[in-house]
Structure 1
């Protein structure tokens, strides 16, 4: 198999062509492309390079940045301005600029596959389709993160990837590309992922359901999520304790689980592990054998935690730890690896999308689409809720919600709350609050802070504004920066 480091080096060289094409001869560019996009093995190696900018620390830093902006969380040290909601300081402007660059590098690597894989000389059409489908899935995934946090962004595709100067496309155009990529990926990706960590067509359907939910296309979100549920290819892992969550759902030695749809995969190798354990842990917990920076935390005294039923096992995945702010401080115990080999050497995967996502997307979308509470929507919610109480996810239980107890509006509120509990420390709460238009209400209720509109977006990096002459810093920068 080709060395991923070598293919990344070649792809990195290709990325630089957009900025310095006049200074390079055409022939070296031709040789690099011809050497790495001919066979199925070479194209797959190129696809693997699409993941590299997301893995490492980048996606973990992205999730943490979002978590620090949520109503239930606070940031420590350089992350503090995030929970203050007064705009980003220099440290966080630099941090999100790094995320912008990572997403666009991943997009560029996907564009190289999309452009060159179909021209391979020794690769079957089936392998071309699979790899192009995967690249389009990942390109859509990257653009979804960009549009949700920066709104309008330059739309770089295989058709213009050597063009430096691109205008900022409005969000509607970005979402149009995202949906088109996912519809194609849904058709081209295999029913069963080619290997653990690769997306299947069910991952494309799941991401598409999430996009439709974000766009307010609720019937489409409901139906796409329903396809995944009715496939019966996924099931929630039963648990009965905090330890079960830590080992059977998020465990460092798991290769995969029955609920996994699309996870970023990590392993106990230096610089190949999950960085979230270092970011979230406190040295006193014994959950992670390399200490921790405990940069994101919560409080037992606030309503989010106080109103959380103690019978819910997930509540105990937040542990009271005195980090110097008193005994009421909470630290995440979601991920544990006592045998990690470095700060960035924990084996826990990052659960980006699982069956729990699909069930809660379905429940919310069904209620919004029909402005009603259906037995199917309540059952989808109950499957997640039962598991949280140690019950069998697919069987009726004493903790079940009942159709008759809810209106459409109160049921949707219940689903949103369940999402907050289920996806704690995965970077989804703040995006949910933005999506439903309740950031200001939620932050004001818990933190007493009035969030200005201009703080709902991140700044376009100065490096992009300087590099891309189609952007005017006076008019294209997001407000407030």
Structure 2
């Protein structure tokens, strides 16, 4: 099957080819100019649509989002301000992200500018498709025109969702308005829903022939997510049920299958951001929006160890004797692993029993890091004292695929790779449906759906018990491949005694299943528990002077739960845009 994720420069070549091949060969166009008339047919509209898809990762080489400010992984806006992730690397680089983690963002933060510009660039591209479709009229068959319009509307909805989930008041820009004249004086959730519903109502393809195109199921998944942000449980419920009961999706056998580069576009996936490498397009399509999240150190040699899981997240994987989470007490007796130790100093990983998903999610000392060998500790990062002792394992690829799935051309960011980002998958939908059930006090349904996800992961054991207590250069690695790497247990719930317990269990399950996937902070906010959760997290995480550079950080509910409009945009349109009063 074909992929729709092409480099933008290829789109330009295709457009110029389209111009040169017009039958009206005596009609002259100014050189280098593409007109709306030139593009007003099926081929032109689809090429423009591919151009809109090309920025769904939030990255445009040489354009908006070039540092990853609008990354589809949402690590900066969804993980860093949450209780799941520290920025990582060293505190001297990318200071704008430090301010996000410390809840000290102001309207001049340059990452806000990138977030805004990259997403509105995507909106503009989607609107270009819709304008061409209007101009083409009957030149494009109705069914095909509807499909192209449905995809363009889905993309427009997605880019606006990326903005609205972070900034409370943003303009909704459509194809029939002048974008710079649209104020941010109203809520836009209904506009996002309307664009998605248009595709659902107009026979959007359920199984597109091209990998990477949005389907009607992707429209339903995003629409359900939008309802959840508004606490519209009754509206979300039938959509989620439809995807679960009637969609062509099934859970993959193993938890990590959804992060394994060898299992992309699998049967659990509803929509994936497509990444490619070594295809002649350079690195623009190779996950450049998150190119700094991979481990450092001689054992791997990638860059740059951003995206560091917190102590709090690691401890959230603790379980009781029945393999159930410690919902209220996981922060007690916080496990710090090898924090503060050199790789040459003796250390043994905790023997406490953990949910096995922990070691598919978090890289830690003395545990196999996929097939890269055991993580040896602080030498895999620059600043263990400032970022903590953990690494993001979900973002990594297998060593056996190095230079095949990763970029073959040497670059400072050797971790660039073609492993897709799973934007929507069935496990999301199942736990969202469990959330709705818990909110509506349908406790048996909530428990059964949570158990469905937990049962899938019960046997996902990381194998390879490592005996080494130090990892000095030249130390032989002693490993028993027939033994689990740590002590694991994952049990199933036998009851949800009341609604409060059910909500706590569902939310904790979402944290474990979707950790480091850019969802946590916005989930805390939409649940209305961000203030208490983040404050408790800071007290626990920073106790005893840990992580010195974050000391003194405080979270202000009602302000830090969203971000301001970039000041540059206010300055450009002072009579159109209104800054959030909290800022």
TM-score between both structures, scaled by the size of structure 1: 0.84
CA distance in 1, matches of 2:562, 2:31: 40
Displacement of 1:412: 1.4
Q: Give 1:23-422 correspondences, 5 Å limit.
A: 32-39=35-42, 41-55=43-57, 56=59, 57=68, 58-60=70-72, 62-76=74-88, 77=91, 78=95, 79-88=97-106, 93-120=109-136, 122-160=139-177, 162-171=178-187, 174-188=188-202, 189-239=204-254, 245=256, 248-269=257-278, 270-271=282-283, 272-275=285-288, 278-284=291-297, 291-300=302-311, 304-305=315-316, 307=318, 310-316=353-359, 317-320=361-364, 321-322=377-378, 323=381, 324-326=383-385, 329-337=389-397, 338=399, 339=402, 340-341=406-407, 343=413, 345-368=416-439, 370-374=440-444, 376-390=445-459, 399-402=491-494, 404-422=495-513
Equivalent position SS for 2:272: strand
CA distance in 1, matches of 2:536, 2:295: 28
CA distance in 2, matches of 1:311, 1:302: 12
| 1:325-374 deviation digits (Å, cap 9, x = unpaired) | 35952111112234211536301111111001100111111221x32313
Map of 1:15 onto structure 2: none
CA distance in 1, matches of 2:7, 2:45: 12
What residue ranges of structure 2 are gaps of 5+ in the alignment? 16-29, 60-67, 320-324, 326-352, 365-376, 461-488, 540-552
CA distance in 2, matches of 1:438, 1:3: 41
CA distance in 2, matches of 1:444, 1:398: 29
Does the C-alpha gap of structure 1 residues 82 and 292 become closer, same or farther in structure 2, counting only changes over 3 Å? same
Cα pair 2:273 2:420 within 8 Å, conserved? yes
Larger Rg: 2
CA distance in 2, matches of 1:145, 1:262: 16
Displacement of 1:201: 0.7
> Which 10-residue stretch deviates more, 337-346 or 175-184?
337-346
> Which 10-residue stretch deviates more, 80-89 or 431-440?
80-89
Which of the two has greater helix per residue?
A: 1
TM-score between both structures, scaled by the size of structure 2: 0.70
Cα pair 1:209 1:221 within 8 Å, conserved? yes
CA distance in 2, matches of 1:255, 1:297: 24
The alignment yields a C-alpha RMSD, in angstroms, of: 3.1
Cα pair 1:237 1:258 within 8 Å, conserved? yes
Map of 1:23 onto structure 2: none
Does the C-alpha gap of structure 1 residues 100 and 290 become closer, same or farther in structure 2, counting only changes over 3 Å? farther
What residue ranges of structure 1 are gaps of 5+ in the alignment? 12-26, 392-396
Does the C-alpha gap of structure 1 residues 185 and 30 become closer, same or farther in structure 2, counting only changes over 3 Å? farther
CA distance in 2, matches of 1:400, 1:313: 13
CA distance in 2, matches of 1:263, 1:3: 17
CA distance in 2, matches of 1:273, 1:204: 25
CA distance in 2, matches of 1:146, 1:301: 28
Cα pair 2:71 2:290 within 8 Å, conserved? no
CA distance in 1, matches of 2:193, 2:53: 20
Equivalent position SS for 1:267: coil
Aligned length: 443
Does the C-alpha gap of structure 1 residues 100 and 301 become closer, same or farther in structure 2, counting only changes over 3 Å? closer
